[in-house]
A and B are shown apart, each in its own frame.
Chain A
Amino acid sequence: MIILNVLPMTLEQGLAYALVALGIALTFRVLAFPDLTVDGSFPLGGAVAARLIVAGVDPVLAAAAATLAGFVAGSLTGLLNTRLKINSLLAGILMMTILYSVNLRIMGRANIQLLDRPTVFSAMENMDVTRYVPVILFFFVVTMAVKILLDLFLHTQYGMALRATGDNEDMIRSLGVNTDNATVFGLGLSNAMVSLSGALVAQDQGFSDVGMGIGMIVAGLASIIIGEALVKPKSVFRLSLAAVVGSVAYRFIISLGLRLGLAPTDLKMATGFMVIVALGIPAIRGKREGKIHLRGV
């Protein structure tokens, strides 16, 4: 019974945040770049969209602008790392910290309400069916569209160069790819997806908050790890599928936990433990596989 009760919410949130998981899969898994910009670029998407919607901009355009802003933020992290040679983790942390102030500036305050504003979900409020149905459908279509576009891109000449950059940087440089540029572009793409997610989540929940990105990376990592346990990521197609499936599965576990008495304030701690256990088990068992291979750390 509990399972049925949490299902709609699980699907809505799982699919809404799946774009974050896809973005993190692109950086951590494909580019092997541990990008921490996400905690800042997610609220950036919310902030840009909310501010623009309040200013009267069309909600779809607002989401597009948020996506672009995310691309810029991710690219800047890439530039910090490749041009200024700042360690990849630190570059992400710097960008995330800077974005906190940027997001406050964009919104002018810590929180913008959108409840009485037009959003991409406005038309879904007064349908004959419960709100969940069109909203879930909407997020499903958007997420799958992004997933498929990403799959296709990663099979193009440049997309393959991007994958090779994360796989064997020396080799692909010797084949003529400027891996610095590839890294910058990949980080931009990843954070564009994350910001899009932020823009849509803000519109769905009816507000944008400067703190809405806290713990987003860890939650995304947990999603990816769970997804990869369910869908063996033997190909690009399955890797991105694992991110989507994992995102839904993660939200399901969380909702279930909350229903069973997990305090909402302990949520991030529980997520953190989940990631620690998943990453730690191979080490305790003395196996090396399962460890995330990362460049530039």
Chain B
Amino acid sequence: MLELENVIKVFNRGTQDEKRALDGIDLVVEKGDFVTIIGSNGAGKSTLLNVIAGTHQPDEGHVRINGRDVTRWPDYRLACYIARVFQDPTMGTAGAMTIEENLALAERRGKRRGLQWGVTAAYRRRFREILKILDLGLEDRLKLATGLLSGGQRQSLTLLMATLSLPKVLLLDEHTAALDPRTAEKVTLLTDQIVRENNLTTLMVTHNMNQALKHGNRMIMLHQGRIQMDVRGEEKKNLTVAELIAKFGKTLKDETLLSCDS
């Protein structure tokens, strides 16, 4: 499904600030896998997702989706396979455009856009149905500009937009980190529900170890641009936060990671 082969990404090569953000990543993700990704700040998690999504081009290595080499594809072209949700809720929607317009934009992810009417009655009916999943009452406010929504509402909408035209790969980059704990919890549950119902191949970066262990069928840990741990299935299910910290406490310097004992 998704295949990374010896992917290397170096920032500011040849300068004092040279940084090997990804240092030889080999990763094969199967169809339907829900992979959680943890690692301390600067471990290369976001860079990994950026390379997969085509936002950054790797210096070496290959990225394949469904056997197709997409390493040099620009981000807008990869949109036919990939949907993303970012940490910052304002990044996921066009704030001056309405809820239905944003959904219509997302509905045509990776498809040709022509001079057909943007928000058709059929779209609108469908959006109304789908928005009910969020249970935020947005189905009655289709003409509201998304910039007027709260962070949690916007992020929920972004998640819905990302999954609207079922992507081959869903990339989530700490998409609950900017939300208050209760909203974060709701968005996390929603993520789980949508991913499972549609059997989406998903990579979810999180700074919360509990979340990483509780969700998905596989977890990888990045450290200094390398995959330091890769657990799946039963092994992952039985893993506890305490065990993780006991094993990797030294490398997981990030306080946000260590302080999560809830």
Contact = CB atoms under 8 A, between A and B. Distances in A.
A111 interface: no
A132 interface: no
A241 interface: no
B118 A167 contact: no
A176 B111 contact: yes
B83 A167 contact: no
A172 B83 contact: no
Nearest to B119: A155
Interface stretch (B31-39, B73-81, B191-199, B203-211): B73-81
Given A157-B113, A167-B95, A175 B105 contact: yes
B53 A174 contact: yes
A177 B82 CA distance: 13
Contacts of A113: none
A126 interface: no
Contact of B80 (A159, A167, A176): A176
A3 B230 CA distance: 78
Interface string A73-113: 00000000000000000000000000000000000000000
Contacts of B108: 157, 175-176
Interface in A117-172: 153, 155-161, 163-164, 167-168, 170-172
A205 interface: no
Given A155-B118, A155-B119, A156-B116, A176 B109 contact: yes
Contact of B105 (A161, A170, A178): A161
B28 interface: no
Interface secondary structure of A, over-half rule = helix
B115 A160 contact: no
A171 B113 contact: no
Interface stretch (B96-104, B134-142, B234-242, B249-257): B96-104
B91 interface: yes
A160 B114 contact: no
A160 B104 contact: yes
A133 to B, nearest CB: 36
Given A174-B79, A175-B108, A177-B76, A156 B94 contact: no
B61 interface: no
B110 interface: yes
Contacts of A159: 115, 118
Given A159-B118, A178-B76, A168 B109 contact: no
12 contacts: A155-B118, A160-B105, A163-B94, A167-B94, A168-B90, A172-B94, A175-B105, A175-B108, A176-B76, A176-B79, A176-B108, A177-B79
Interface of A: 153, 155-161, 163-164, 167-168, 170-179
